[in-house]
């Protein structure tokens, strides 16, 4: 299955019930392959899908903020999801099925975009974020899958997310 890119303003969650569980949200990530957490712009937006409508301002202040946090926390903790900054430097979720393609084409992306983002809180409650550099987060099985994957097939899977200079280039 190919990722489903979204032009700005397209395919936003419509008003109505949002994704009701972590399982639904994980299925959303699985289906799309690459989703932004809450940024506006390119790609499906998980927070809007959870809320069931576009979110104005910070989702923390949204009436569904606690539920959004709970669902989002469960999804980002999943072994099926890489949290990185792939799309325009924004927090992005990449489903496991696309990791071999991402690894195969790693040279096409700035290193900071494919580093794993690890977020947490200090004992005092302050939010902290750190990055685990690529390829330190890559499981051995994914590396093997990437080595067996044809570069053209990998480009086809990630075409919407590749930097413009590598969309048709050969590596």
**Does some domain include residue 119?**
yes
Q: Is residue 73 part of a domain?
A: yes
Q: Which domain holds residue 92?
A: 22-162
- Give domain status of residue 2, yes or no: no
Q: Are 59 and 13 in contact (CB under 8 A)?
A: no
Split into its structural domains, the chain has a count of 1
Q: Is residue 61 part of a domain?
A: yes
Task: Decide if 168 is inside a domain.
Answer: no
81 falls within a domain: yes
Query: Is there a domain that residue 30 lies in?
Result: yes
Contact 111, 133 (CB under 8 A): yes
- Reading the chain (171 residues) residue by residue, the pLDDT tens digits are 444 444 333 344 434 579 989 999 999 999 999 999 998 888 999 999 999 999 988 898 898 889 999 999 999 999 999 999 999 999 999 999 999 999 999 999 999 999 999 988 889 989 899 999 999 999 999 999 999 999 999 999 999 999 887 665 544
Asked whether residue 115 is domain-assigned, the answer is yes
pTM of the full structure = 0.86
> Which has the closest alpha carbon to 110: 162, 55, 50, 54?
162
* 15, two tokens: 């008003």
């Amino acid at each position: 299955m190919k990722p489903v890119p979204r032009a700005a303003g397209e395919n936003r969650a419509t008003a109505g019930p949002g994704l009701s569980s972590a399982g639904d949200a994980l299925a959303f990530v699985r289906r799309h392959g690459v989703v932004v957490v809450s940024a506006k712009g390119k790609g499906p937006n998980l927070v809007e899908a959870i809320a069931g409508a576009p979110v104005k301002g910070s989702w923390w202040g949204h009436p569904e903020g606690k539920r959004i946090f709970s669902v989002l926390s469960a999804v980002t903790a999943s072994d099926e999801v890489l949290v990185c900054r792939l799309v325009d430097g924004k927090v992005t979720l990449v489903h496991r099925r696309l990791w071999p393609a991402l690894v195969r084409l790693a040279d096409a992306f700035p290193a900071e975009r494919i580093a794993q983002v690890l977020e947490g809180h200090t004992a005092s409650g302050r939010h902290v974020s750190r990055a685990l550099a690529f390829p330190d987060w890559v499981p051995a099985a994914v590396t093997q899958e990437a080595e067996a994957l044809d570069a053209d097939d990998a480009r086809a899977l990630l075409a919407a997310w590749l930097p413009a200079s590598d969309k048709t280039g050969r590596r």
